[in-house]
Amino acid sequence: MLRTKIIISLFFLTLAFLVVSWHLKVLFIYLLFLTLKKYIPNYTNYRKWINYGSLALFLLIFGITFPDRISHRDDYIQSVYFDKETKEELPEPMVPYLTNIIGEGDIMQFVTLTTKIIPSRILDHSRGHAIRDIFSYMRLTTMTENNFVRPYRELAYKGTPSHAVPFQIAKQYGWYPNTGHYFLHMPEGKNPKVCEIVVFCHGYSGNWQLYPALFAKYSDAIIISVETPDFNGIFTRYILQDIIQNTLPHIYEYIDIPYKKPHLIGLSNGGSAVNNAIRFFPDAFKSYTIISASLNYEPKTKSKVLIVYGENDRSGGVNRNIPKSRYTLHVVKGANHTLFVAKPDTVFGLINNIIHH
């Protein structure tokens, strides 16, 4: 019995150490206390006082540390919902609000921990090479080096809004058909009227705050992270049209600057946004960048087209029928599908060069 309690205690202590959100640390420490409270001296004599006192203290600290994930205009990363018809800003919908108890960083921490525990042979048999690359990166890097986790630890002190992924899944099943959403980062200490603007299109698994957080750290542009009405990251012609006609006008009014062409960047499945944009909206963006995906169509645009992928990434490439004069290609040695997260210095060096020149 004692051995079992020691194991359970170590489990709760480990969880408290690992999770990003402070209110979850408090929760796991309280569960640790409940496991060990009978070993407190004179517990039997003061059981009622100890139980009620510890519960009151837990509720107080849990309430204080529970994150305010309602987005505000001066937040480091803003989460903006709006009505596509009226263009009015909307309060946060119920679905993302109810997911507040577990943050994105906690989920990413859990996934990373899972990859370190499960046998590597299971990862080797996963369906997609992209998943294998990501899980392998998580397994082979420490928590302090893992860029799927580290940005959330930095964001924990700056505040983060609610998840976008549950909202995207809800939209996939017909909820919130007229509600648009995007993450927004405004560079600190910069005049937004002179800043470059980047529209970022996520890959498979949805629009995570991780992406604008990395852009915010490594660039000085205004970052607009848009999303598909599901979490697969396939940006069709019609989704792009909705972004151009509804989302972008709302953004420029929201940040109160005159319209100017933004840059378009697509990661992994989000490369579909660039492939469709260079065919159907060749004049809508100032530049087009594909990361960890392929250029499939000859660009109709005169703007710069950049393709970046790792040499070990089977998702990268360029259609052989496209003239080399129509794009710029960078293949990063030794990199795979985790390029954007694993080698941000390299990737953002290329991104910053194209958006500022």
Which of 11-15, 69-73, 83-87, 207-211 comes out lowest in average pLDDT?
A: 11-15
Domains of the chain: 2-65 (no CATH), 78-96+159-356 (3.40.50.1820)
Q: What are phi and psi of 116, to 5 degrees?
A: -80, -20
| Cβ atoms within 10 Å of 300's Cβ, excluding its own | 13
User: What's the mean pLDDT when you consider all of the chain?
Assistant: 91
Residue 319 Cα distances to 265, 294, 296, 307, 323, angstroms:
19, 8, 5, 12, 9
Render pLDDT for 38-86 as a digit per residue (tens, 0 to 9).
888 888 899 999 999 999 999 999 999 988 888 888 899 999 999 999 9
String of DSSP letters for 218-239:
H--SEEEEE--SSSS----HHH
Give the tens place of pLDDT for each residue, 129-181.
888 899 889 988 988 899 999 999 888 888 788 999 999 999 999 999 999 99
Please name which of 222, 177, 180 lies closest in space to residue 80, comparing C-alpha atoms: 180
pLDDT at 113: 87
| Residues contacting residue 170 through CB under 8 Å, at least 6 positions apart | 93, 95, 176
Containing H/E element for 305? strand 304-310
